[in-house]
Amino acid sequence: FLGLQALAQSAPLPSWNDGPAKQAILDFVRETTDPASPKFVPAAERIATFDQDGTLWVEQPMYTQVIFCLAKVPAVVAKRPDLKDVEPFRTVLSGNRAAIAKLSTADLEKIVAATLSGMSVEAFRAEAEAWIATAKHPKFGRLYTDLTYLPMQEVLSHLRANGYKTFIVTGGGQDFVRAYAQRVYGIPPEQVVGTAGGTKFGYGKDGRPVLTKEPRLLLNDNFAGKPEGIHLMIGRRPNAAFGNSTGDRQMLEYTRAGTGARLAMLVLHDDATREFAYGPAQGLPDSKVGTFPQPLFDEAKAKGWTVISMKSDWKRIFAFEP
Amino acid sequence: FLGLQALAQSAPLPSWNDGPAKQAILDFVRETTDPASPKFVPAAERIATFDQDGTLWVEQPMYTQVIFCLAKVPAVVAKRPDLKDVEPFRTVLSGNRAAIAKLSTADLEKIVAATLSGMSVEAFRAEAEAWIATAKHPKFGRLYTDLTYLPMQEVLSHLRANGYKTFIVTGGGQDFVRAYAQRVYGIPPEQVVGTAGGTKFGYGKDGRPVLTKEPRLLLNDNFAGKPEGIHLMIGRRPNAAFGNSTGDRQMLEYTRAGTGARLAMLVLHDDATREFAYGPAQGLPDSKVGTFPQPLFDEAKAKGWTVISMKSDWKRIFAFEP
Ligand SMILES: [Ca+2]
Ligand SMILES: [Ca+2]
């Protein structure tokens, strides 16, 4: 056992190629955990935050939660027939894939609000657990939960092995991600910060207390909402933050504005063969899902953040690869 | 060391008198942590929530945070002279203690909103830390942080020693309590759930990111807001919950509505000699601070919650007692 532990400690991040990205992580962990280092951080204060979609798992061609919400539309309309002829529900029910792909962010937000509310928190969790246990990705033909990035799972493990408390800070729905975060990432519900609606406490017909999910938005955990959500839910500035798009910019800026060693990393999807290629930074194809524009790339370079190239920094992307 | 550990385990809760309250805690911990017990809870799922004012520390004659806010009024009015002649600020500035004591909840909320917003989260934290480090209680003449209940500190320790993650769930301000919760209770900021205002992410004159506290209320963590706040911030139902007033009723109901062993306890302040006596349950004097009415007492008895009598269940109340 001690031999294995020593081995694990001597060779962390095995799915990473040697290079500046891997080195930045190793250096950060060493500097902040060595009591002799001027950048030492006490164990109780070590906080690392991770965006989920596009940072910990695949987000193309559409965010997993959006696919979950779209799949729920028929059941929601069955309970609320008044929505049948109302957009964007009519388009979703039509099954017209091209039209569905063109829905605006505002349309998707209407669908999310309608499908993620109106049930007890337990009923929602059971639905989310059941769906994620069987739904498969259109390109890979695998469970979404198999599509987490092995190199990032290794970062989570390496940080935790060195006393860091790891949090997900996602623009996705907090309750949705909490349904599988422990099993998939080893991250408990209370360490998942996400976009959150309100709940309403009341009593069921049997007199038992019930928390019902409401469409009312409490926290839009994206862009400036990420540092605001971090303050609300965690209450301190992260030492390290990982993202992949414009929605993570403010979280990384906030993280780096702290004193001492502060790690800020962005995953660049530049591997069309093994995953997807999109930016539009660095001449990659544009995308409205997980947009990584050139100004964000330039800001990263100017401020000493590290951009991770999936193509050159990651030896393996998925655990299922040979 | 092993001998000390064995001793600690053989005699938990030393400041408690033997009786049903102490026994309820010991039984709950044993039943939920013994793998052979039908009520066993896996270590990763053990959650306990504690109200603060009146449950973990003294709340009479006025909530500590309110005293902090009142003390800040002159500084706030210096920056915003328009408030000088506006109620309730005028009353506070008058220094008339009787009039200040009569301020309504709505007045106090105005004072809280004005004094807890408009500065960066770091500036607020520094103010709160500085104040709590020196302010003293009018009756005891001691730091507020010396006025935590030793028996409850022992409950926190006993639960943590048995794998429970302990949370504060307070109607008080989340950022205020976070300023000292680690030092005073061993509870880190991310495990403090409280009444919370929004923050706004922006940039200072030097271009550095700043989170500014806003008066906008995000979570009123009292009454039904407690289970709602628990779902928002923790994401699962507690196994054990501790409170002392009507503001905790829904949290205890929600906790007990779960399956398996669920501990619900209420502290009754019935010791005028060593602390304060108020209810009005059980014929104790009425109080608008920390109200514990007879119907709450009756609900506790009917539902198998445990009422802790400070007078008879606690051998010592404060660590400074001889
Ligand atoms: Ca993302
Ligand atoms: Ca209380």
CATH for A226: 3.40.50.1000
Output the six-digit token pair for B301: 């008895």
User: DSSP letters of A44-56?
Assistant: GG-EEEE--BTTT
Q: How many Å apart are CA A179 and CA A185, to the nearest integer?
A: 11
Domain assignment of residue B322, yes or no: no
Q: How many Å apart are CA B98 and CA B19, to the nearest integer?
A: 41
- For residues A23 and A172, membership in a common domain is answered with yes
Q: How many Å apart are CA A61 and CA A76, to the nearest integer?
A: 24
Kindly identify the ligand whose nearest atom is closest to the C-alpha of A222: 1
10 Å CB burial of residue A273 (0-12, 13-18, 19+) is: exposed
Share above pLDDT 90 across residues of chain A, in percent, rounded to a whole number: 92
Cβ–Cβ gap A200/B234 under 8 Å: no
- For residue A310, is pLDDT > 90? yes
Longest dimension (CA), chain B: 66
Q: How many Å apart are CA B233 and CA A189, to the nearest integer?
A: 9
Could you give phi then psi for residue A240, rounded to 5 degrees?
Answer: -140, 140
Q: How many Å apart are CA B62 and CA B64, to the nearest integer?
A: 6
Helix locations, B80-104, DSSP H: 89-94, 97-101
Domain assignment of residue B31, yes or no: yes
Which residue, B18, B29, B17, is CA-closest to B317?
B17
Cβ–Cβ gap B201/A254 under 8 Å: yes
- Among chain A residues, the shortest Cα distance to B178 is held by A235
Helix locations, A19-119, DSSP H: 20-33, 64-79, 89-94, 97-101, 105-115
Q: How many Å apart are CA A42 and CA A44, to the nearest integer?
A: 6
- Among chain B residues, the shortest Cα distance to A166 is held by B190
Shortest alpha-carbon distance between residue B289 and chain A (Å): 24
B202 band by pLDDT with thresholds 50, 70 and 90: very high
Cβ–Cβ gap A189/B234 under 8 Å: yes
Domain assignment of residue B75, yes or no: yes
Cβ–Cβ gap A211/B227 under 8 Å: yes
Q: Is the CB of residue B290 less than 8 Å from the CB of residue B245?
A: yes
Cβ–Cβ gap B190/A190 under 8 Å: yes
Longest dimension (CA), chain A: 66
- Among chain A residues, the shortest Cα distance to B197 is held by A232
Contact partners, residue A48, CB within 8 Å, separation at least 6? A159, A164, A165, A166, A167, A238, A239, A240, A241, A242, A263
10 Å CB burial of residue B11 (0-12, 13-18, 19+) is: exposed
When scoring A175, A201, A251 by the number of chain B Cβ atoms within 10 A, the one with the most, hence best to mutate, is A201
DSSP assignment letter at B118? S
Residue A223, Ramachandran bin (φ over 0: left; ψ between -120 and 50: alpha; else beta): left
Kindly identify the ligand whose nearest atom is closest to the C-alpha of B245: 2
Share above pLDDT 70 across residues of chain B, in percent, rounded to a whole number: 97
For A173, other C-beta atoms within 10 Å of its C-beta total 25
- Among chain A residues, the shortest Cα distance to B217 is held by A218
To 5 degrees, how large is the angle CA A196–CA A197–CA A200? 135
- For residues B52 and B70, membership in a common domain is answered with no
Q: Is the CB of residue A241 less than 8 Å from the CB of residue A252?
A: yes
Cβ–Cβ gap B228/A198 under 8 Å: yes
Domain end position, chosen among A103, A132, A161: A132
Among the ranges given (A106-110, A193-197, B118-122), the one the predictor scored with the smallest mean pLDDT:
A106-110
- For residues A194 and A256, membership in a common domain is answered with yes
Q: Is the CB of residue A120 less than 8 Å from the CB of residue B257?
A: no
Query: What is residue B322's predicted lDDT score, i.e. its pLDDT?
Result: 84
B3 band by pLDDT with thresholds 50, 70 and 90: low
Mean pLDDT across B81-86: 93
- For residue A1, is pLDDT > 80? no
Mean pLDDT across B143-164: 98
- For residues A25 and A87, membership in a common domain is answered with no
Query: Near ion ligand 1, which residues have CB within 5 Å?
Result: A 51, 53-54, 244-245
Could you give phi then psi for residue B159, rounded to 5 degrees?
Answer: -65, -45
Cβ–Cβ gap B199/A228 under 8 Å: yes
Contact partners, residue A205, CB within 8 Å, separation at least 6? none
Cβ–Cβ gap A44/B188 under 8 Å: yes
Query: What is residue A109's predicted lDDT score, i.e. its pLDDT?
Result: 87
**CA of A207 relative to ligand 2 center, distance in Å:** 25
**In sequence order, what are the beta bridge partners of A314?**
A16
Kindly identify the ligand whose nearest atom is closest to the C-alpha of B267: 2
Query: What is residue B109's predicted lDDT score, i.e. its pLDDT?
Result: 87
Mean pLDDT across B118-146: 97
Q: Which of A7-11, A96-100, B225-229 has the highest mean pLDDT?
A: B225-229
Kindly identify the ligand whose nearest atom is closest to the C-alpha of B65: 2
Domain assignment of residue B137, yes or no: no
Cβ–Cβ gap B44/A182 under 8 Å: yes
- For residue B265, is pLDDT > 90? yes
Output the six-digit token pair for A147: 């599509």
The CA-to-CA distance between both ends of chain A, in Å, stands at 27
- For residues B254 and B283, membership in a common domain is answered with yes
- For residues B200 and B83, membership in a common domain is answered with no
Q: Is the CB of residue B152 less than 8 Å from the CB of residue B199?
A: no
**In sequence order, what are the beta bridge partners of B212?**
B120, B200
Q: Decide if B75 touches A, using CB distance below 8 A.
A: no
Q: Which residues of B touch A233 (CB under 8 A)?
A: 190, 233
Chain A segment 178-237 residues within 8 A of B by beta carbon are 178, 182, 188-192, 196, 198-202, 208-209, 211, 218-219, 224-225, 227-228, 231-236
Residue A41, Ramachandran bin (φ over 0: left; ψ between -120 and 50: alpha; else beta): beta
**CA of B171 relative to ligand 2 center, distance in Å:** 7
- For residues B269 and B148, membership in a common domain is answered with yes
A3 band by pLDDT with thresholds 50, 70 and 90: low
Q: Which residues of A touch B119 (CB under 8 A)?
A: none
Q: Is the CB of residue B113 less than 8 Å from the CB of residue B197?
A: yes
**CA of B75 relative to ligand 1 center, distance in Å:** 42
- Number of A/B CB contacts below 8 angstroms equals 95
- For residue A267, is pLDDT > 50? yes
- For residues A36 and A74, membership in a common domain is answered with no
Q: How many Å apart are CA A271 and CA A268, to the nearest integer?
A: 9
Cβ–Cβ gap A232/B250 under 8 Å: no
Q: Which residues of B touch A189 (CB under 8 A)?
A: 234-236
Residue type, B81: P
Q: Which residues of B touch A209 (CB under 8 A)?
A: 227, 250, 253-254, 257
Chain A segment 157-176 residues within 8 A of B by beta carbon are 165, 174-175
Residue B101's domain comprises 64-132
Task: List strands edge to edge, sheet with B240-243.
Answer: B209-219, B192-203, B165-173, B47-50, B240-243, B263-268, B306-309
- For residues B161 and B243, membership in a common domain is answered with yes
**In sequence order, what are the beta bridge partners of A167?**
A49
- For residue A171, is pLDDT > 50? yes
- For residue A298, is pLDDT > 90? yes
**CA of A171 relative to ligand 1 center, distance in Å:** 7
- Among chain B residues, the shortest Cα distance to A234 is held by B190
Domain assignment of residue A88, yes or no: yes
Q: Which residues of B touch A46 (CB under 8 A)?
A: none
Q: Is the CB of residue A129 less than 8 Å from the CB of residue A138?
A: no
Q: How many Å apart are CA B31 and CA B37, to the nearest integer?
A: 6
Shortest alpha-carbon distance between residue B173 and chain A (Å): 11
Instruction: Output A55 or A97, whichever has higher pLDDT.
Output: A55
Cβ–Cβ gap B232/A254 under 8 Å: no
Q: How long is chain B?
A: 322
Contact partners, residue B87, CB within 8 Å, separation at least 6? B107
Cβ–Cβ gap B208/A165 under 8 Å: no
Q: Which residues of A touch B44 (CB under 8 A)?
A: 182, 188
Count of alpha carbons within 13 angstroms of residue A310, beta-carbon side: 26
Query: What is residue B1's predicted lDDT score, i.e. its pLDDT?
Result: 47
Domain end position, chosen among B132, B157, B191: B132
Q: How many Å apart are CA B143 and CA B58, to the nearest integer?
A: 11
Kindly identify the ligand whose nearest atom is closest to the C-alpha of A268: 1
Domain assignment of residue B302, yes or no: yes
Cβ–Cβ gap B201/A224 under 8 Å: yes
A10 band by pLDDT with thresholds 50, 70 and 90: low
Query: What is residue A101's predicted lDDT score, i.e. its pLDDT?
Result: 87
DSSP assignment letter at A267? E
The interaxial angle of helices B249-256 and B225-233, nearest 10 deg, is 60
Q: How confident is the model over B217-257, as pLDDT tens digits?
A: 999 999 999 999 999 999 999 999 999 999 999 999 999 99
- For residues A155 and A233, membership in a common domain is answered with yes
The mean pLDDT value of chain A amounts to: 95
- For residues B151 and B126, membership in a common domain is answered with no
In total, how many domains does chain A have?
2
Helix locations, chain B, DSSP H: 2-10, 20-33, 64-79, 89-94, 97-101, 105-115, 121-132, 150-161, 174-178, 181-185, 225-233, 249-256, 294-303, 310-313
Residue B271, Ramachandran bin (φ over 0: left; ψ between -120 and 50: alpha; else beta): beta
**In sequence order, what are the beta bridge partners of A268?**
A309
Output the six-digit token pair for B10: 């053989």
To 5 degrees, how large is the angle CA B230–CA B233–CA B239? 40
Cβ–Cβ gap B209/A254 under 8 Å: yes
Kindly identify the ligand whose nearest atom is closest to the C-alpha of A51: 1
Domain end position, chosen among A77, A103, A132: A132
- For residues B91 and B226, membership in a common domain is answered with no
**In sequence order, what are the beta bridge partners of B292?**
B280
Domain assignment of residue A87, yes or no: yes
Which residue, B67, B196, B243, is CA-closest to B143?
B67
Domain assignment of residue B321, yes or no: no
